[in-house]
Amino acid sequence: MKSDNCCQFLWLKLSFICFLILCLIACGGDSAIKEEAGGSKEGSILWQAGEQYVRLTSSDGAVGNQHPAAVTPEEMRIVLESLFVPERRFITKKLNPIFSPAEVQVLSTALSQGLALARPNQDITFVSIGTHQGTFAKVRKANTGRVFFRDGKLNIIFGMLHDEVRDQDRQTGEEIDRRLHPFVVGSRLFETKLPNVIALGEGKAFYLDPESGEEREDWLVLDIPTLVTNAKVDPNIPGEQQVDSSLAENIKRSKQETQNLKEDLVKVKEVLFELKEELLELQQGGGYATIEARLQSLKNLYDNELISSDEYRAKRQGLLNEL
């Protein structure tokens, strides 16, 4: 009888332990499902291809992000396409887009998704490699950054901007180890000195450090509604309306000068044709008629500003002296 009671007690104890284990498993599984569904797990990868990625990460100690944030992929595309950097090619500088079309296609979707999933204490970091025009040929360039939404503005802190990507070291020829030379994303804690200053314009500004009172050229503060509105002004000229006024004026002036040169070329062709016709007439004429035609040709040259007034008067007097 006593043995039966012991067996019954052990059976009840074993059943209770099994019940507790099942409860713990169920709770743990439910927690994991919720965390995965929420998509805000620390270090969650939103997109990855080789060394490139977009993922959620810690906001390096800062608080106050307005996350989750609703930024559509289309709005993000407009923002990314509006970013330009002046780069020297030979002896001139040219505005080049920061992100290639392929980068824009991937980042616009992944960053939009990341902002929708992020918690207030999280940022979205990215490493993106695009093909851009170099001095002589196409080259692979890396962009890295930290993205977050705060005070109603989209913030991007760049860690690398158009850094040329090589698989082998130029001097040694050895393969580059990314564990020793990683792609570094931007940080709130320190400023990264970028090789070129990003072009600003309406809706784009550098972050003003409240402690030093100086702007950080690696940290962009972007007003999405303004950039979207500007993009709708002239969709056939992407990015031109977002550059600063001096650069926009230079672009406008260059276009006008090109148009003027085209018009001048047309006029020169017309003058040359007329001179050719007059030359044929001169070859067929003679005496007084020849001088009269030459005077008229001289007048045409002067009217078209191909000779100065002094040259015109001197040549004209010379022809009159032949009468």
Predicted pLDDT of residue 216: 97
**Those residues with Cβ within 8 angstroms of residue 100's Cβ, 6 or more apart along the chain or in another chain:** 130, 131, 132
| Residue 135 CB neighbours (<10 A) | 9
Q: What is the pLDDT at residue 77?
A: 97
Residue 109 to residue 46: CA distance in whole angstroms: 10
Q: Which residue ranges make up each domain of the chain? A: 45-243, 255-321
Half-sphere exposure of 22 (CA within 13 A, CB side): 6
CA-based torsion, 181, 187, 191, 193: positive or negative: positive
Residue-level pLDDT at 32: 31
Contact predicate 73/112, CB 8 Å? yes
Angle made by CA atoms 125, 127, 129, in degrees to the nearest 5: 155
Q: Is the dihedral of CA 178, 107, 145, 138 positive or negative?
A: positive
- Which stretches within the chain are classed as H helix? 2-38, 73-81, 101-117, 224-233, 245-284, 287-303, 309-321
Tell me, what's the pLDDT at 126?
Answer: 98
Q: What is the pTM of this model?
A: 0.61
pLDDT tens-digit profile, the chain (323 residues): 445 555 555 555 556 565 555 554 444 433 332 233 234 555 699 999 999 999 999 888 777 899 999 999 999 999 999 999 998 876 678 899 999 999 999 999 999 999 999 999 999 999 999 998 777 778 999 999 999 999 999 999 999 999 998 887 777 878 888 787 889 999 999 999 999 999 999 999 999 999 999 999 999 999 999 999 998 765 444 444 445 555 555 565 566 666 666 666 666 666 666 666 666 555 555 545 577 777 887 787 777 777 788 888 888 888 788 76
Residues paired with residue 148 on neighbouring β-strands, in sequence order: 155
Starting at the edge strand that comes first in sequence, how are the strands of the sheet with 122-133 ordered? 45-49, 52-58, 122-133, 138-150, 153-164, 215-222, 204-208
Q: Which residues contact 214 (CB under 8 A, 6 or more apart)?
A: 208
CA angle 142, 143, 145 (to 5 degrees): 145
The predicted pLDDT at position 238 comes to 46
For tokens 């079309």, name the residue.
101
Please answer whether residues 150 and 218 qualify as being in contact, where contact means their C-beta atoms are separated by less than 8 angstroms: no
